[in-house]
């Protein structure tokens, strides 16, 4: 995780944005006492949203927990996709 001030961010905006996108780093720009902005890559943002969606309902959470338990117990199986 990177942290900087708004002044330093302005000076080196390209460098900071390159590091965020190329290294999947999160950038925090401090803007004073208990205030700031977080910048992350679009890929990281999309990943967080997908994870949030998967855990957004108890049903999804139970399905994921069940799948993990099956994998740990060795009782999972592989299926081929049917192409149309």
pTM exceeds cut of 0.85: no
pLDDT at 41: 95
For 1-14, the pLDDT digits (tens) are 899 999 999 999 99
pLDDT at 26: 95
Q: Tokens representing 64?
A: 């994921």
For 25, how many CA atoms within 13 A lie in the half-sphere containing its CB? 15
Where do the structural domains in the chain lie, given as residue ranges?
A: 2-40, 43-72
> In the CATH scheme, what architecture does the domain 2-40 have?
3-Layer(aba) Sandwich (3.40)
Distance CA 29, CA 2 (A): 8
pLDDT at 34: 83
pLDDT at 55: 82
pLDDT band at 53 (very low <50, low <70, confident <90, very high): confident
């Amino acid at each position: 995780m990177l942290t900087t001030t708004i002044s330093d961010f302005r000076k080196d905006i390209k460098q900071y944005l390159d590091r965020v996108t190329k290294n999947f780093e999160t950038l925090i720009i401090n803007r004073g006492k208990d205030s700031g902005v977080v910048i992350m890559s679009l890929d990281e943002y999309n990943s967080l949203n997908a994870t949030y969606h998967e855990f957004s309902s108890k049903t999804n959470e139970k399905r994921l927990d069940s799948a993990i338990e099956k994998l740990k117990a060795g009782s999972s199986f592989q299926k081929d996709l049917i192409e149309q």
